[in-house]
Amino acid sequence: MTDISMHLTTDEIELWAQGLLPAARAMHLADCSLCRTEAERERKVILELVQLPKFAPSAGFADRVMAQVKVPTPSGDWQA
């Protein structure tokens, strides 16, 4: 169940940073300066992570972000 007055979780802030946050939760974000501050801080972290030339092995957060990035794959035999 979704309570609009609930603050965003870290997971939801990650979704927001990826543009995947459900509208109901985005409405809370629009109203809540606390969550907006937190979200902007998270987004900066993400932007810094994706700009790193390589990721630390423990950066599951960055992996999840990168998993959302759809890279067009040429129909090559990269799996052979």
> 57: which residues sit within 8 A by CB, 6+ positions away?
none
Pairwise CA distance, residues 8 & 25, whole Å: 7
Minimum distance, C-beta of residue 44 to Zn ion, in the bound complex (Å) = 18
Site residues (CB under 5 A) for Zn ion? 7, 32, 34-35
Minimum distance, C-beta of residue 34 to Zn ion, in the bound complex (Å) = 5
Q: Which is nearer to Zn ion, 5 or 75 (CB)?
A: 5
CB of 61 within 8 A of CB of 14?
yes
Q: Which is nearer to Zn ion, 42 or 62 (CB)?
A: 42
Residue 8 CB coordination number (10 Å) = 22
Q: Which is nearer to Zn ion, 17 or 62 (CB)?
A: 17
Minimum distance, C-beta of residue 15 to Zn ion, in the bound complex (Å) = 14
Query: What's the DSSP call for residue 31?
Result: H
